Each structure stands twice: as C-alpha cells, then as structure tokens.
Structure 1
Amino acid sequence: MERGDQLAKRKTLTNRLDDKSLEDIFVNLPVKSLVRFKCVSKTWQSFIEDPSFVQLHLNRSKQHPQILIATSSGGGPVQVYSPMDGFKGGVAVHQVTIPESSEIAMLSPINGLFCFVDRYATRMYNLATRQFTPWAKTSITMQGGTQTPTYGFGFDPLTNKYKILCVWEISGIGLEYEMGKVDHICEVFTVGGENKWREIDVVPPVSRLAGGLTYANGSIYSRNGGRTAFHPPDTELIVAFDVGTEKFRVIQVPDFIVGSSGIIKSGSSFLIKCSTWRKKDWRKKDLLQIDGHMALMDRVDQYVVKLWISVDSYKEQKMTANWTEETISLPSSFLKGHCLCLAPVEGTDEIVIKSHIPSGSGQACPPGPRGFVNLYIYNRTMKSFREIEITGISPLLTSPFIYGMFVFHESLLPVQDADNKLDRSTPLV
C-alpha cells in the first residue's frame, strides 16, 4: 500500500509540472541527477532525451567548465578526477574509473564526448552519462612496410554530427623510407552511425603530417611534415579536413610565422603509456583551438610562447588565413626544459597550462611518488598567471608523473542513435 501511495504522489507531481517548469528546473541540474530522473516516468525520460533540451543543457553546461585529470598506474584502468574547487584547485574528486588498458589514448573532448583510441580501433565515451560504444576496428588491411595511424575527433556544426578521422601513413622500406616516400589512406567513423569505419577516396595533399590532429570551427587540422629530405622539400602548411564535406584543403603559413621552433605541446590528447606507434615531438610548432578558432603556437625560448590565432570563420574555405599574434611571457617558476600542455577554456580568456618533464629527456624528476599536480591558469586579457594545486590523487603518481589534463563540459549527448537499440548505459565504476 505504501508503494502505491508513493507512485500516486509521483504521478501527481509529474502532472503538475508543465514543460516550461521542467525545463527551468532540469536545465540547472547536473547530468548525474538527470540520468536518475529518467527512471521517474516515460514523460521525464522523453523530455530529458529530447534533442532540443540536450542542446539547451549543453549551452548551460558550457558556462561551468571543469578541469579533468586522467591517470593510470602500472598498466591499470584510467582514473578520472576533477578538483573540488574547480579552477581554484583543491581536493581531487574521483569521477569515474574507465576499465581500459594502458595502451590507449584519450583525445580532447568535444561537447562532453571523449574519443578513446587504440592502434587499430576507437570507442566513444560520455563520462557524465556513463555511456560508451563498443570498440570499432579499422577497415584497412595491413600490408608490408610501416603503418602509422593518426586520429582526430571533430564536429560538423551544420549537421550536428560527430566524426573521427584516421589518417594512415604507410611508409616503404629501405631506400623508399629514406627518401620519405609515404602513401596515405583515410577512414572516417560517424558517431551514432553503424559503429564501423569507412574508407574515403581523399587523402591529405602533403607528403607527410606532423604532430597530432586538432579540431576547431568545423575542421580537423594538422601541420605538414616540412621535411627537408623530401625532393622538393615541403613548405610549411596547415592541412584542414572539413568534417561536413569530408574534403581536405591546405592553408599557407605566412613567412612571419615560419621560423623558430620550441618546446611546446597542445593538450589535444593524453597517451596513458608511450608506445612505438605514437611519437611525441616536443620541439615543433603545434596547433590548438582558441575561442573556436585554429591557432598555431610556438615556444620561442624558455619563457616566451607565441600564439598566432586564425580569425576566419569555419564557413570560409580559403587557402590563406588572417592571423592575430599574442605573446605569453612565462613566469620564472616554469622550470627550464619542461614541456607545456595548453588547454584553452572555451568562452573565456583563460588557458590551463600543464608543465612537465618530457619523456626520454634524461632530466631528473623529483624523488618519490606524489598525490598532487600543479597547474597554471593564464588570463589572456590580464596577461597574468595563477598557480593551482590539486591534491588527493590516488593511486599516487610515480616518476615521470605522466597524466592527462582536459577542460570538459558535461553533456547529455548520446554516443549511439536510439534507433540502434544499443544499451551501453551501465555505470563504469
């Protein structure tokens, strides 16, 4: 009888709340609460899963970004934390344990969705809803020579589709390899589709890519290799893959940008354990997204970072770009020889910066394990830095203290179309 009374009260409450009232209440709630509320009634479930509400909640969530720290110890699962006091640091609050091996990479999230990458497969996670997809293996048949995949995660603002791009570089052996001869094969994976890769008939119009792939304003960007060993040598270019049309184009890098190189790395991905198929080049110009625009960055010397920000719209499919220049003067507390990972905070003038010792550099690391990390918050308008400390990370980090750092917006976005009837919503941990 008591259970019947509770159900009656629940139905009465549901009937009293119209759509506008639900929207005003639900839009301010965290995703964790909304996932639970979907069990209250089919009406609430339908409302929470409605695409217009999902977008409204995401827009609200973007006003409250979070810092995520991802760690893995001894080849174990990935532990994800966020600081209790947000961008002020504080005690690390455990968010989720992801039961993946230590050989995977996490690409930078887009609207709350993470792409996890193995050498030959990918899967999608929404860490807030705990939904994930099965691993989707590549459709490419491996042959002789050296095959190197480079993955990028992107979004098409016109169709609201999320896609993963994989560019395979297939190198010959012997003299062909020494001369830099490389063939390309490209695949695309559409999130929410059939959960399989499809090969496309276009390839990057350059000899070789350099560094990772970075998403901004409807395109996935990369630098070309620019190797002087090529005949003729490559000029410095940016390669752009339009997520909507699935076509490549190149953007010329002006002479005033081409030149010096430094120790810098974007926060576009986190490799839990370095492996032979994904090398880190810490002394090249790299790419990142700032306020929805693609940007080039370069560490001119130990205490100066240059940013060149493209101010063109994603709708302008041009061979050239207009650039604005910014200079970041690093404080003396940045140690000599340390690498930088930059994660701009969307919709603000702030950039979260991680400083760490590059793997294989031979530099001495602080002794003993530790359960904290230090980050810097840089304000582009004030040109000021503040340091924050995140404590209570467990298991303890061990030398060389490798961890991933992301700026994250939680969302209700599904990782699979409802029509596919794929129920992967079981909480991870």
Structure 2
Amino acid sequence: MRIAEGSVIEILLRLPLKSLYVCKCVSKRWCSIISDIEKHHHARNLGIFISNFGCSSFNYLFQSRLTLHNNTSPPPFIKQLVGSADEIGFTQVINGLFCMYTPAGRTGVLTLCNCYTSETRNIPLPRFSRWTRKIQFYFGFDLWGNYKLLSLGFLSDHVIYQEVLTLGGMNKLYDDIIPTCSWMNMFRPDFIPDSDVMCKPSFCINGILYWLIQFKDMNNRKILAFNLLRGRFYYISLPAQMVVAAAKMVNFKGRLTVGCLEADDSGSSCKSNILNLWGLNKRHRWNKHSINLPEELVRCNRNMWCSFGNLPTGEILLTNPKANDNDDSSFIPIYSYHHSTRKFQRFVVGKFTPCMLEKSCVQISCVELNSSCHSSSLEALLLKQPISALLSFEEEEMSLEEEEMTLEEEKMTRGIKYFRTPKIIKSLFS
C-alpha cells in the first residue's frame, strides 16, 4: 500500500521536529521532505505574544499565529482576557508561562499563568512588598532549566530590595520535582543597580537576565546582567565599534548579542540595510557578524527593526513593526535567519494595533502552539525545559586547556570570584 506524499507530510507535521531530525540521514528524499516539513511546522505551530511591561492602566496581552503567505486577512493579534484589575503588569512569556502582578489592596496579587489553558496559581509576594509598592518582576530560568522570578523593590532613586523565587523544575541530580519555595534575599550592599532597570523589560538567555540600561548621558549605555544561579548583578560594556545610542539586544546563536544598523561616515544609518551583530563569547569578548537585511524590513522606518525571539531550532526572528506604514498592507513581515546558511525564511503576521505601538516598553515572545501544549498543565510546563535553554552554542571549538587558561585570565583581570569549570558547563547542557 502506497501512501500519498501529501498524507505523509500531514502525518509527520503532527510529530515533534526533534524526532524527525534523526531521519534526515535516511536518504536525500527524506532530507528534502523533512526540510519542507520544518518550514511548514514553524508556520503552523508558532505564535507571537506581546505584552506591556510593568503595571499600567493600558494593560494588554496579545497573541497571533505565524503564517507563510500574504493572505487578504493574515492572523490578527487577538487580545487575551487575563485578570480584571484596572492595572496589571506582565512578565515575558517563556515556554507558555508568565507572571502577572496586580497592585490591588494593601499589597497586591502575584499570579503564575499558563497561556495555553488559562490556568493560574497565586504565588507569595516578596517580603519587602509590605513596605514598598514600587515593585517589578522579571521571569527567567537558570542553567539547570529551573524557572525563577526576580523581584526588585525601588526606594529613594535606587533599587535596594532584591529577592528570587524558584517556581519549579527538575533536580537533575535526584530526578525530583523542585517545589515552589520561599523568596531568597539577594541583596548586595556593594552593588546597587541603576534605577533605569525598573523601566525596562528583561531578556533571559542561558540563565542570565539582561537589561540595556540608559544613563543620564545619552551616549552612555551599558548592559546590566543578573545571574539567576549565582544571584549576582554585574555590568557589561557595549562594543566600542557600535553606535551605542542605536543598540538593541537579541538572542543570536544562543548567546547575548547586541545589534545596530551599519552607519556611514557621518554616523547615519538612513540608507543601510546591513545589520551588524556583536555576540558575547565564552571569553567575554564581542564577535561581529553582519547580516544583509531583506529590503522589505528597511524600506520604511528602518530603525524600528527588532527581534521577535527565536524559533525552537535557534534561528533568530527579525521584523519591523512599521515596515508597511506607507501602504495599506494588513500584515507585518517576519524573517527567520539561519546563521550557518545565511538564508532567510519569510513569515507574516497581522499588523499591530495602535496601543501596541504607543507603548515603548513591550515584551515579545515566540511560543510553540502545537496541540500537546494546549493540554499541558502548569506543573507539566514547569518541568519542561525552556526552548531558549536548549539552543546550542556554535562558537569556535576550544580545548579544555584553552578554556581553563581563559577562565584563569578572567579571574585575574575581572576579579570575578565564581566560575564554573568547563566540565561542569558541559554537563549543564548534556
């Protein structure tokens, strides 16, 4: 009995991509079929979540689905009904999970949410919430894949309260479920982050939260980092070669990356379609990678380019929410970029609503939308490894001796006390 190729593709589309990749080596035909499935799989099973950061009366959480074609009516952004309070602050959506804070009553309510099933669970507030209402929450995961929530309290122009809550995950040493525990105080009197962090959404890559901090001098910007495993803040200087005022953070090849459009001799990028990206490698040095952006992303409002996150296979998603402002198009183009082949794959999604563009501090996430996700409970999602934690590093190969020498050098030059040995680093991702 011979099954039609279309039926085979439809059946295989229901399987996880991870299970299909092992079949690519069967034959050239299988490799071609699975490559085609990969493209359709992303379009069918991926969605975009956009939310406001921090408590606001203009609170929103929008969802849309990626598609491959310019339909007359591409998938619109639909507002999700979450909570009924006048003010709600959202964290970034990671793996279908997010937290929201409602400053109601004397203290407020903090809730863990499942964006697939609308299941919610109240979680305890940090201790300092009793005497300060200026609180922000940042959602992420550590190197073990455990979800964590960082809370910062603001008082007298400084962030002076810092606590971390472990929401769940797996203890890989004993195969036990990590229960929700109490908040841990991470206060360090020798390091007080700048207050600008309270106005910025965080960006989580491989167990570290990042913020692009703006100081009083417009040309003085740095990256603030918080290691969720060690509970430590530190600053990272931007690359000396880039236009600091135009810098944006992205996740490229599974590591922290900053990017800006290439500028001419006068410092203007009004005619450039070259996006320069600097990725931070294991040696804490910036490596440059240049991308020729599709004309569609830079033909209008070129400096509005941004990232919509990453595909489950690691490719970065690049877009421009105002790319089609000069015409009547009903869609926004989104391009995935594969750094090894340097090829783009084009998707589209419905245009943003006006309120989404008015807010400067928005959080954008790419989330899986397959059928198995829609039946996942909060507990199941907490045990699922975050997609971002599975992205592989594709840096240059270094020998064990070179890594050890690099770590010793950084200990001496940077004064950083805590370093994980290369063997442990490899075991974290095994």
TM-score bucket (shorter structure): 0.5 to 0.7
Match of 1:248 among 197, 208, 233: 233
- Please give the root-mean-square deviation of Cα atoms over the aligned residues, in Å: 4.7
Tell me the distance in 2 between the aligned counterparts of 1:69 and 1:141: 28
Q: Secondary structure at the match of 1:140?
A: helix
1:340 aligns with 2:305: yes
Deviations along 1:237-288, whole A, 9 cap, x unmatched? 433222123223444445345x5322xxxxxxxxxxxxxxxxxxxxxx3323
Match of 2:46 among 63, 66, 87: 66
Q: Secondary structure at the match of 2:83?
A: coil
Q: Aligned pair in 2 of structure 1 residues 330, 105: CA closer, same or farther (>3 Å)?
A: farther
The aligned counterpart of 2:21 is: none
The aligned counterpart of 1:375 is: 333
Question: Shift in Å at residue 212 of structure 1?
Answer: 2.9
The aligned counterpart of 2:290 is: 327
Question: Shift in Å at residue 164 of structure 1?
Answer: 1.1
The structure with the largest helix share of the pair is 2
The aligned counterpart of 2:406 is: none
Q: Aligned pair in 2 of structure 1 residues 187, 383: CA closer, same or farther (>3 Å)?
A: same
The one-letter amino acid of 1:110's match is: I
Contact 2:316-2:336 within 8 A present in 1 as well: yes
Q: Secondary structure at the match of 1:201?
A: coil
Unaligned runs of 5+ in 1: 1-24, 31-60, 173-181, 263-284, 313-319, 359-363, 419-429
Q: Secondary structure at the match of 1:261?
A: helix
The one-letter amino acid of 1:373's match is: F
The one-letter amino acid of 1:294's match is: L
| Correspondence 1:239-318 to 2 at 5 A | 239-257=224-242, 259-262=243-246, 285-300=247-262, 301-302=269-270, 303=272, 304-312=274-282
Tell me the distance in 2 between the aligned counterparts of 1:254 and 1:76: 35
1:170 aligns with 2:155: yes
The aligned counterpart of 1:109 is: 93
Question: Shift in Å at residue 162 of structure 1?
Answer: 0.6
Q: How many residues align?
A: 304
The one-letter amino acid of 1:356's match is: P
Contact 1:354-1:405 within 8 A present in 2 as well: no
Deviations along 1:61-86, whole A, 9 cap, x unmatched? 999861225589x9687453324x4x
Question: Shift in Å at residue 306 of structure 1?
Answer: 2.4
Identical-residue share of aligned pairs (%): 15
Q: Aligned pair in 2 of structure 1 residues 98, 29: CA closer, same or farther (>3 Å)?
A: farther
The aligned counterpart of 1:221 is: 210
Contact 1:152-1:215 within 8 A present in 2 as well: no
Tell me the distance in 2 between the aligned counterparts of 1:252 and 1:71: 28
TM-score, reference length from structure 1: 0.55
1:92 aligns with 2:66: no
Q: Aligned pair in 2 of structure 1 residues 251, 400: CA closer, same or farther (>3 Å)?
A: closer
The aligned counterpart of 1:126 is: 114
Q: Aligned pair in 2 of structure 1 residues 388, 130: CA closer, same or farther (>3 Å)?
A: same
Tell me the distance in 1 between the aligned counterparts of 2:325 and 2:77: 26
Q: Highest relative contact order (Cα 8 Å, sep 6+), 1 or 2?
A: 1
The one-letter amino acid of 2:301's match is: K
Tell me the distance in 2 between the aligned counterparts of 1:400 and 1:130: 22
Unaligned runs of 5+ in 2: 1-11, 18-40, 169-178, 263-268, 382-430
Contact 2:221-2:244 within 8 A present in 1 as well: no
The structure with the largest strand share of the pair is 1
Tell me the distance in 2 between the aligned counterparts of 1:76 and 1:249: 31
TM-score, reference length from structure 2: 0.55
Tell me the distance in 2 between the aligned counterparts of 1:149 and 1:194: 20
Question: Shift in Å at residue 326 of structure 1?
Answer: 1.8
The one-letter amino acid of 1:343's match is: F
Contact 1:208-1:225 within 8 A present in 2 as well: no
Tell me the distance in 2 between the aligned counterparts of 1:226 and 1:188: 25
Deviations along 1:6-28, whole A, 9 cap, x unmatched? xxxxxxxxxxxxxxxxxxx9x94
Tell me the distance in 2 between the aligned counterparts of 1:107 and 1:150: 9
Q: Secondary structure at the match of 2:378?
A: coil
